[in-house]
Amino acid sequence: MSNPLVILCPGQGAQIVGMGKAWHDASPEARAVFQAADRQLGSRLGAPLSELCFSGPPERLNKTDVSQPAIFVASIACWKGLLAKWQFGEGEIPIAASAGLSLGEYSALVVAGAMSFEEGLELVTLRGRAMQDAAEASPGGMVALIGADEAQAVARARKICADPHHVIEVRPVGWRWRR
């Protein structure tokens, strides 16, 4: 396999109003992905997914129950658009691997052929709804700090949340690359 590609799929937080619109407009294959998603989801999100992706409003697109299927569908639409536009050898893109960050793992599984688009869309829609319900049942907040040590993170959290009755937890989830 010459010049193999690794396909990386984004996780939640990558959403932005207008995502996928350029692919939708330029590629019949990408457009078909959005149309299939709109048919499969029907009115479950309160509006067609394509409308939420392309026009927002951002307050709705940023809700977990919408952002998760939206990112998944936009990712697969991009993938299908690439498949149709790029020609390598016999018309196949030489994929060495596909991977995703959190939610993006579902897109990566579809890219790898391990699950169908329809199965993936159903899973991420259920996942997004469950996570949205959990967030509404137990309000809280989360922030990612890059380059802060534990003491700096705790101080920042206490400054943001001055109420002494709120629970503040700091969890290191990243790592530093050491040679």
For every residue of 48-76, DSSP letters joined together read: -HHHHHHH--HHHHTSHHHHHHHHHHHHH
Q: Identify the pLDDT of residue 2.
A: 67
| 3-state SS, residue 150 | helix
Shared domain check, 55 and 33: yes
* Least confident stretch, 11-25, 81-95, 117-131: 81-95
Average confidence (pLDDT) over 130-147: 82
Shared domain check, 131 and 144: no
Shared domain check, 177 and 98: no
Give tens-digit pLDDT for 35-84: 999 999 999 999 999 999 999 999 999 999 999 999 999 999 999 998 88
Shared domain check, 33 and 95: yes
Average confidence (pLDDT) over 155-179: 69
Written as six digits, the tokens of 154 are: 């705790």
Indicate the pLDDT class of residue 179, thresholds 50, 70 and 90. very low
Count of domains forming the chain: 2
Percentage, residues of the chain above pLDDT 70? 89
Report the interhelical angle of 117-137 vs 104-112 (nearest 10°).
170
> What one-character-per-residue DSSP string does 2-16 give?
-S-EEEEE--TT---
Shared domain check, 127 and 85: yes
Shared domain check, 145 and 125: no
Surface-to-core class of residue 7, CB atoms within 10 Å of its CB (0-12 exposed, 13-18 middle, 19+ buried): buried
Shared domain check, 43 and 10: yes
Is residue 119 scored above 70 in pLDDT?
Answer: yes
Shared domain check, 95 and 15: yes
Shared domain check, 161 and 119: no
Written as six digits, the tokens of 135 are: 């967030």
* Least confident stretch, 46-55, 59-68, 86-95, 143-152: 86-95
Is residue 87 scored above 90 in pLDDT?
Answer: no
Written as six digits, the tokens of 127 are: 């996942």
Q: Identify the pLDDT of residue 88.
A: 47
Indicate the pLDDT class of residue 168, thresholds 50, 70 and 90. confident
Model pTM?
0.82
Shared domain check, 152 and 65: no
Shared domain check, 153 and 94: no
Q: Identify the pLDDT of residue 53.
A: 98
Shared domain check, 174 and 106: no
Considering the chain, what is the average pLDDT of its residues?
Answer: 88
Q: Give the residue numbers spanning the domain of 104.
A: 5-137
